[in-house]
Structure 1
Amino acid sequence: MITKWKYWRVICRYGHVGRKKEISVARYIRTENACNLMDVLNIASRMPGVKKRKDITHSIVEAKCINKNQYEQGIEVEEQNLYVQNLLKNRQVD
Protein backbone atom coordinates (compact mmCIF):
# COMPACT_ATOMS: atom_id res chain seq x y z
CA MET A 1 0.00 0.00 0.00
CA ILE A 2 1.40 3.37 -1.02
CA THR A 3 0.72 6.23 1.36
CA LYS A 4 0.34 9.68 -0.14
CA TRP A 5 1.57 12.54 1.93
CA LYS A 6 0.75 16.18 2.47
CA TYR A 7 3.44 18.59 3.56
CA TRP A 8 2.90 21.63 5.76
CA ARG A 9 4.80 24.70 6.92
CA VAL A 10 3.51 25.85 10.29
CA ILE A 11 4.82 28.91 12.10
CA CYS A 12 4.49 28.27 15.83
CA ARG A 13 4.85 30.61 18.80
CA TYR A 14 7.45 29.68 21.41
CA GLY A 15 8.71 31.52 24.48
CA HIS A 16 6.78 33.84 26.77
CA VAL A 17 3.82 34.72 24.60
CA GLY A 18 1.94 37.62 26.15
CA ARG A 19 5.06 39.00 27.77
CA LYS A 20 6.35 40.15 24.40
CA LYS A 21 9.19 37.64 24.73
CA GLU A 22 8.16 35.16 22.12
CA ILE A 23 9.80 33.71 19.06
CA SER A 24 8.01 32.42 16.01
CA VAL A 25 9.60 29.37 14.43
CA ALA A 26 8.68 27.62 11.19
CA ARG A 27 8.17 23.89 11.66
CA TYR A 28 7.65 21.40 8.86
CA ILE A 29 5.16 18.58 9.18
CA ARG A 30 4.36 15.59 6.98
CA THR A 31 0.88 14.10 7.31
CA GLU A 32 -1.21 11.52 5.56
CA ASN A 33 -3.11 12.87 2.59
CA ALA A 34 -6.42 12.73 4.48
CA CYS A 35 -5.31 15.33 7.04
CA ASN A 36 -6.76 18.81 6.73
CA LEU A 37 -5.68 22.18 8.08
CA MET A 38 -7.48 21.72 11.42
CA ASP A 39 -5.72 18.37 11.95
CA VAL A 40 -2.37 20.07 11.32
CA LEU A 41 -3.18 22.92 13.71
CA ASN A 42 -3.98 20.37 16.41
CA ILE A 43 -0.73 18.49 15.76
CA ALA A 44 1.37 21.65 15.81
CA SER A 45 -0.28 23.07 18.93
CA ARG A 46 0.71 19.92 20.86
CA MET A 47 4.37 20.05 19.80
CA PRO A 48 6.86 20.50 22.69
CA GLY A 49 7.50 24.12 23.57
CA VAL A 50 4.61 25.57 21.59
CA LYS A 51 2.67 28.01 23.72
CA LYS A 52 -0.67 26.71 24.94
CA ARG A 53 -3.87 28.70 25.33
CA LYS A 54 -7.60 28.03 25.23
CA ASP A 55 -7.64 27.76 21.48
CA ILE A 56 -5.03 26.61 19.00
CA THR A 57 -5.10 29.80 16.96
CA HIS A 58 -3.07 31.55 19.67
CA SER A 59 -0.25 29.01 19.30
CA ILE A 60 -0.01 29.22 15.52
CA VAL A 61 0.92 32.27 13.45
CA GLU A 62 0.46 30.68 10.04
CA ALA A 63 -0.04 27.25 8.48
CA LYS A 64 -0.08 26.32 4.83
CA CYS A 65 0.21 23.30 2.60
CA ILE A 66 3.50 23.14 0.66
CA ASN A 67 5.05 20.77 -1.86
CA LYS A 68 7.54 17.99 -1.09
CA ASN A 69 10.53 19.99 -2.35
CA GLN A 70 9.67 22.93 -0.06
CA TYR A 71 9.22 20.48 2.83
CA GLU A 72 12.65 18.91 2.28
CA GLN A 73 14.31 22.33 2.07
CA GLY A 74 12.46 23.41 5.21
CA ILE A 75 13.62 20.35 7.14
CA GLU A 76 17.22 21.21 6.22
CA VAL A 77 16.75 24.77 7.49
CA GLU A 78 15.00 23.47 10.62
CA GLU A 79 17.98 21.20 11.37
CA GLN A 80 20.23 24.28 11.33
CA ASN A 81 17.96 26.31 13.63
CA LEU A 82 19.69 26.54 17.01
CA TYR A 83 16.41 27.19 18.84
CA VAL A 84 14.86 24.00 17.45
CA GLN A 85 18.05 22.00 18.08
CA ASN A 86 18.10 23.09 21.75
CA LEU A 87 14.39 22.43 22.11
CA LEU A 88 14.69 18.89 20.74
CA LYS A 89 17.89 18.18 22.69
CA ASN A 90 16.33 19.31 25.96
CA ARG A 91 13.18 17.36 25.21
CA GLN A 92 15.17 14.11 24.80
CA VAL A 93 16.81 14.60 28.21
CA ASP A 94 13.43 14.93 30.02
Structure 2
Amino acid sequence: MTNVTGRATTSADADTWTVATAKAHFSAVLARARTHGPQLITRNGQAAAVIVATEEWERKTRRSGSLADFFAASPLRGVPELVLDRRQDRPPEGVV
Protein backbone atom coordinates (compact mmCIF):
# COMPACT_ATOMS: atom_id res chain seq x y z
CA MET A 1 0.00 0.00 0.00
CA THR A 2 1.27 3.52 -0.67
CA ASN A 3 0.24 6.76 0.95
CA VAL A 4 -0.43 10.12 -0.70
CA THR A 5 3.27 10.78 -1.31
CA GLY A 6 3.73 7.36 -2.91
CA ARG A 7 5.70 6.13 0.06
CA ALA A 8 5.06 2.47 0.75
CA THR A 9 3.62 1.85 4.19
CA THR A 10 2.79 -1.14 6.28
CA SER A 11 1.42 -1.36 9.78
CA ALA A 12 4.59 -3.07 11.02
CA ASP A 13 7.15 -0.81 9.35
CA ALA A 14 6.26 2.75 8.37
CA ASP A 15 9.78 3.46 7.11
CA THR A 16 9.55 1.61 3.79
CA TRP A 17 9.92 3.31 0.42
CA THR A 18 9.66 2.12 -3.16
CA VAL A 19 12.72 2.78 -5.34
CA ALA A 20 10.87 5.38 -7.41
CA THR A 21 9.59 7.25 -4.35
CA ALA A 22 12.96 7.09 -2.59
CA LYS A 23 14.62 8.56 -5.70
CA ALA A 24 12.05 11.35 -5.92
CA HIS A 25 12.30 12.16 -2.19
CA PHE A 26 15.91 11.22 -1.47
CA SER A 27 16.54 14.16 0.89
CA ALA A 28 13.50 13.14 2.93
CA VAL A 29 14.69 9.52 3.05
CA LEU A 30 18.08 10.68 4.35
CA ALA A 31 16.48 12.96 6.93
CA ARG A 32 14.20 10.16 8.20
CA ALA A 33 17.17 7.79 8.43
CA ARG A 34 18.82 10.25 10.81
CA THR A 35 15.71 10.96 12.89
CA HIS A 36 13.64 7.75 12.72
CA GLY A 37 16.16 4.99 12.01
CA PRO A 38 16.78 2.69 9.04
CA GLN A 39 14.78 3.25 5.85
CA LEU A 40 13.94 0.17 3.78
CA ILE A 41 13.92 0.54 -0.01
CA THR A 42 11.87 -2.00 -1.97
CA ARG A 43 11.94 -3.00 -5.62
CA ASN A 44 9.01 -4.97 -7.03
CA GLY A 45 7.72 -5.49 -3.49
CA GLN A 46 10.98 -7.09 -2.28
CA ALA A 47 13.52 -5.57 0.09
CA ALA A 48 16.40 -4.18 -1.98
CA ALA A 49 18.42 -1.89 0.29
CA VAL A 50 18.47 -0.09 3.62
CA ILE A 51 19.59 3.47 4.23
CA VAL A 52 20.94 4.19 7.70
CA ALA A 53 22.45 7.26 9.34
CA THR A 54 26.24 7.44 9.31
CA GLU A 55 26.36 7.37 13.11
CA GLU A 56 24.38 4.13 13.25
CA TRP A 57 26.51 2.51 10.52
CA GLU A 58 29.73 3.42 12.35
CA ARG A 59 28.35 2.14 15.66
CA LYS A 60 27.30 -1.19 14.13
CA THR A 61 30.52 -1.75 12.17
CA ARG A 62 33.05 -0.53 14.75
CA ARG A 63 35.60 -3.17 15.70
CA SER A 64 36.20 -3.68 19.37
CA GLY A 65 39.76 -4.93 18.91
CA SER A 66 42.24 -6.49 16.56
CA LEU A 67 42.55 -10.15 15.61
CA ALA A 68 45.63 -10.30 17.85
CA ASP A 69 43.51 -9.02 20.77
CA PHE A 70 40.91 -11.70 20.05
CA PHE A 71 43.48 -14.50 20.16
CA ALA A 72 45.18 -13.00 23.23
CA ALA A 73 41.84 -13.13 25.08
CA SER A 74 41.19 -16.76 24.10
CA PRO A 75 40.44 -19.15 26.96
CA LEU A 76 42.85 -21.58 25.25
CA ARG A 77 45.77 -19.20 25.65
CA GLY A 78 48.35 -20.73 27.90
CA VAL A 79 47.23 -24.31 27.30
CA PRO A 80 50.56 -26.17 27.14
CA GLU A 81 49.81 -28.14 24.01
CA LEU A 82 46.58 -28.32 22.10
CA VAL A 83 46.38 -31.52 20.07
CA LEU A 84 43.76 -31.78 17.36
CA ASP A 85 43.43 -35.16 15.70
CA ARG A 86 42.56 -35.24 12.01
CA ARG A 87 39.73 -37.50 10.92
CA GLN A 88 41.07 -40.64 9.29
CA ASP A 89 37.89 -41.72 7.50
CA ARG A 90 38.35 -39.32 4.56
CA PRO A 91 41.17 -37.29 3.00
CA PRO A 92 41.47 -33.57 3.73
CA GLU A 93 39.26 -31.35 1.60
CA GLY A 94 40.81 -30.56 -1.77
CA VAL A 95 42.99 -33.69 -1.84
CA VAL A 96 42.10 -36.19 -4.54
Taking structure 1 as the reference length, the TM-score comes to: 0.24
Give the number of the structure whose residues are more often strand, by fraction. 1
Give the number of the structure whose residues are more often helix, by fraction. 1
**Max Rg structure:** 2
Taking structure 2 as the reference length, the TM-score comes to: 0.23
Structure of greater relative contact order (alpha carbons < 8 Å, 6+ residues apart) = 1
